Chain A
Amino acid sequence: MTYYEQQVRNIRAKVYPRQELSRQIVQAKEYMDRHFADRLDLDGISKRAMISKYHFLRLFKGHYGMTPHQYLTEVRLQEAKRLLGIGMPVAEVCVAVGFDSISSFKGLFKRYWAKTTSGCKKSNFRDGPGPKSSIV
């Protein structure tokens, strides 16, 4: 075994000692990746992961450095950028990525991408910059 492989195992044992729990968190994150457009909440996601709500919240943050809600919002805003880039109208994008309110969608979008939804349609933004801030 190489030095590097040994280091990977050491870090895993120290930081992520319970692999089964890590797998459950990863699966929950993958579920959000697939179902971001649905109405998702912490109760439902933690129940699916078979972990109590607040324990799930702590574990998720420990694994991904953000809350499940922050992660879900990021996924939605990434997809929104893609859809706007191919010309989908703002109102349709808002619904397609799972937001209820168009005004809060526009506000979040601007805060995350430092650009308005109308300013990033089609070719304006296809290879544009990365996010400007994390979602609070």
Chain B
Amino acid sequence: MVDDQKKALRFYTEALGFVKKRDIPMGEHSWLTVVSPEEQDGTELVLEPMGFEPARVFQQALYEAGIPLTAFRVDDVQKEYDRLKGVGVIFKMPPTQMGPTTLAVLDDTCGNYIQIFQV
């Protein structure tokens, strides 16, 4: 759920490193998806436009609690943290070890927190 698809596309491709897969016009918005550069025929992430009021309430509640909307697995959280900080990404939680996993939480600038983790 993103508040601005164009802004979201810039963030998810230019900062996070996803690749645009589909951009199909759907009136006011579009069916906009991105994929991992390593698996371009794999799972697609929909940058869903915010257009349903209860969803906005849900998104705001998650955001205020600092709860990530979703999580992406990476090979090295500390390396991604350093790289993303270098391009101006804001982190809500720095790399934090929790048993076998390391987590960090970033702000996607579109109304969501996103968790990156390694196992």
Contact = CB atoms under 8 A, between A and B. Distances in A.
Contacts of B100: 22, 25-26, 29, 63-64
Interface of A: 2-5, 8, 11-12, 15-16, 19, 22-23, 25-26, 29, 63-64, 127
B96 A2 contact: no
B98 interface: yes
Nearest to B96: A8
B68 interface: yes
A11 B98 contact: yes
B21 interface: no
Contact of B66 (A2, A19, A22, A23): A2
B66 A16 contact: no
Contacts of B39: 127
Contacts of B68: 4
A11 to B, nearest CB: 7
Contact of A4 (B41, B67, B97, B99): B67
B42 A5 contact: no
B32 to A, nearest CB: 23
A16 to B, nearest CB: 4
B99 A12 contact: yes
Nearest to B118: A26
A127 B97 CA distance: 32
